[in-house]
Amino acid sequence: MAVAGWMTVRRVIGRAVGLGAVLALAACAGTTPIAHLPGGGKRPYVSPEQIAPDFRGLAGWGEDDHAEALPAVQRTCGWVKSQPPGKPLGAHRAAGTTDDWRAICAAANRLAPNDPEAARLFFEANFTPVTLGAGQEGLFTGYYESELRGSWTRSERFNTPLYRKPNQGNLPSRARITSGALNGRGLELLWVDDPIDAFFLEIQGSGRVRMTDGSYVGLSFGGQNGHSYYPIGRHILDRGDATPDQMSLQLIRRWLKEHPGEANDVMNLNPSYVFFKQRTEGGPRGARNMELTPGRSLAVDVEHVPLGVPLWLEVREAPVPGGGFKRLVLAQDTGGAIKGAVRGDLFWGAGTEAEEGAGVMKARGRFTMLAPRNAAFQTAQVPTK
């Protein structure tokens, strides 16, 4: 999936269990802008008089290109369509049920693409802002779609297996799996040429593999071994080889490459292991099998944020020109490291720019949920901005 289309800028164990965790221990570190959010530019300013009254408290609302979020809304609607009547989107009652969303989805599907004004009016007519996390700030990291090199058969070069999940409980730890605990059971999906790349594929939770014939194989999260996640960046800090301000995905990868004799043992400090399944079509998928939209899909803690809802995201100290952004995203993924009332992991897409931006993103910010206006729950009882 291309990164273009940004701001034109895991389930409970869901995506990958390690998502964002390599960065979480450096939550308060600053960042230096190194990558542009794809597309550049902003929407022309919309005056407050043109905005619905309850949306005027959302800073920057009139400057976003709301049409860019419609594909993500339609993917939430795909899940809604497949569910029974009256099913809640999540624990927060203001998010409504599938019944509340069916009319919203019908309206979304009637919208013409690439019409920012019509999209903005659609959101204002069908939703109302609801404060989450008492308006407090939290940590927002980033993730991306990895790309590896692989083969269908094992060879001297391609000797690191990617496994599908076994049909059993009490699965072995990473150390035992990488030592051969699953050998001979026919669980290998394919073989890749770098165990460090395979490790980071688990952290991202999905990716694609360029095969020896030039074709690509898409991989999605296929399960986890049930062992808790340990962020190996903590080990690097404890050794004194980096400071919290320096910590990033790129630093961890570089450290592993520079310490080949220790890399395997350090990766095995994390007992969690992620399994994969082959993706037959489309891009990487998040929770509820929703395809992710670069720049518009956010991983959240489902204990606090319902999956599928739109969120108005405001962040600062992000690796983008100006150091921050305000934009509409959708809660469409989860991760083992994404915990807390105000915590998120933003999907950057695929490619070098996405990897660079996601790898250093440690932004501070907050979000506001957009709740269906027609929900049976009386939104007037919910504090709003």
Q: What is the pLDDT of residues 64-90, one digit of tens each?
A: 999 999 999 999 999 999 999 999 999
**pTM, entire model:** 0.77
Residue 347: its pLDDT value, please? 94
Residue 108: its pLDDT value, please? 96
Q: How confident is the model at residue 381 (pLDDT cuts 50, 70, 90)?
A: very low
Residue 43: its pLDDT value, please? 60
Q: Does 35 have pLDDT greater than 50?
A: no
Q: Half-sphere exposure (CA, 13 Å, Cβ side) for 188?
A: 20
CA distance 23 to 222: 23
Structure tokens at 76: 């939430």
Instruction: Give the whole-number percent of the chain exceeding pLDDT 70.
Output: 86
Q: How confident is the model at residue 32 (pLDDT cuts 50, 70, 90)?
A: very low
CA distance 147 to 258: 21
CA distance 373 to 128: 6
Q: Does 382 have pLDDT greater than 90?
A: no
CA distance 341 to 303: 8
CA distance 326 to 42: 10
Q: How confident is the model at residue 42 (pLDDT cuts 50, 70, 90)?
A: low
Residue 195: its pLDDT value, please? 97
Residue 282: its pLDDT value, please? 77
Mean pLDDT within 373-385: 55
Q: Does 9 have pLDDT greater than 90?
A: no
Distances (CA, A) of 130 to 53, 185, 330: 14, 50, 14
Q: How confident is the model at residue 6 (pLDDT cuts 50, 70, 90)?
A: very low
Q: What is the pLDDT of residues 317-333, one digit of tens each?
A: 999 989 999 999 999 99
Helices 195-204 and 260-267, packing angle to 10 deg: 30
| Residue with the larger pLDDT of the pair 268 and 44 | 268
Domains parsed from the chain with CATH numbers:
1-26+38-312+341-374 (2.40.240.50)
Contact 253, 232 (CB under 8 A): no
CA distance 194 to 358: 21
Instruction: Give the whole-number percent of the chain exceeding pLDDT 90.
Output: 69
Residue 349 CA, distance from chain mean position: 9
Q: How confident is the model at residue 28 (pLDDT cuts 50, 70, 90)?
A: very low
Q: How confident is the model at residue 135 (pLDDT cuts 50, 70, 90)?
A: confident
Mean pLDDT within 150-165: 98
DSSP designation for 171: P
Residue 44: its pLDDT value, please? 62
Q: Half-sphere exposure (CA, 13 Å, Cβ side) for 276?
A: 28
Mean pLDDT within 204-214: 91
Helix, strand or coil for residue 359? helix
